[in-house]
Structure 1
Amino acid sequence: MAHAPAAAVIGTRFWTVPVARAVVALVPAALITFNANHSAQFGLLVFGAFALVSGLVIAGLSWLTVRDARDRTLFVLQGVVGVVAGVLALLLNAGGLGFFLYLVSVWAAVTGMLELFAGIRLRARDRTARNQVARDLLIVGIFTAVLALTFLLLPPHAVVSVGLLGAYLAIVGVYLAIAGVDARRGLASSSTDSDTP
């Protein structure tokens, strides 16, 4: 399995994961963009809903589309972290700016590292040019890790922080939508190529 093509490791229907994640990210991005209330409580509610739904999507769809058990565990773990962070944000939505910054930072650091690790593992298995999935995992992992660093380093300010979360969700949502379309083509051609002698 160490040299199996990407489609053999993650399955040809994995493209549904980035597409669903894109939709889940773009909805709260629009909510933040078109809402004048950028309070910490609003940020926690929006982040909580996003993290919860995104975690369920990642865990559920990855369980169905990732063929390798170790890789599947990474994605499911990433989903579980999202669900836990989402539930905490929703239940403790009056926790204030400090809690918002801390929770988003921890979520972004953990899920960003898991996504980076999944991308590195997948890239090591398939170094062909058509392995866009590994590249996309790495890029989204970097975006998410940068969000964690930004929240840790910037001076605390609710409007700026909630706005940055909205910008992150918009960027990642658009990127994942494009990545899903590319993955659908790439995984389909990998599957066809692996079927031919």
Structure 2
Amino acid sequence: MSQAPYDPRAVANKLLDMAEAIGEGDMPITPLALQKLLYLVHFRFLAATGTPAVKGAFEAWRFGPVHPAVYKAFSDYGRFPITGRAKGKNLLTGETRELALPADKLLRKIIGQVLSNAGYLPAPKLVDLSHARNGPWDYIWGKIQSGDVVTRQIPDNVTLERGRYMVVDANKEACDSPDVEQTPNEYRTGSLRSSSSR
């Protein structure tokens, strides 16, 4: 039985573990790629179950959907492949702990499908995928640019309604974006990075 939504860092850890197993070391995942793959997993799980895969909300950042908790956990890797796993922290003692991986069979199946379909794509291609015209990110980003929203959050109903636009177009040229996400200006207070734990 599903216990979704799950801790987004735990789902990210599961995705990274499965990428290592499926890719046999030939599917390196950078923080930017992780965000896009995780968002695809979230969309597919939401479409299949009506329940979000992860707790919290993805946000529309410059290079696509980003889950802030996952960004915080893995941003120290910059543009390099992730080699470690996110950890939890006891707020009372400050001690770190391993995160329990979800044992959800459907989630595992969806992660496997996403990795098989998009896990080998370079980060710029994944950005193209997440930037699909009329897709969830495109819709919210347009509202941000026009000043029609006060938050970067991509609501699950928008993800569900517009996720179908995120399709792989093998003939599309890769965009010129770097393969690392930058913290939006309004978040650059120092608190997001300084409290990061891996």
* Larger helix percent: 1
Which one has the largest radius of gyration? 1
Relative CO higher for 1 or 2, CA cutoff 8 Å, sep ≥ 6?
Answer: 1
Q: Would you call these one fold, judging by a TM-score over 0.5?
A: no
TM-score scaled by length of structure 2: 0.27
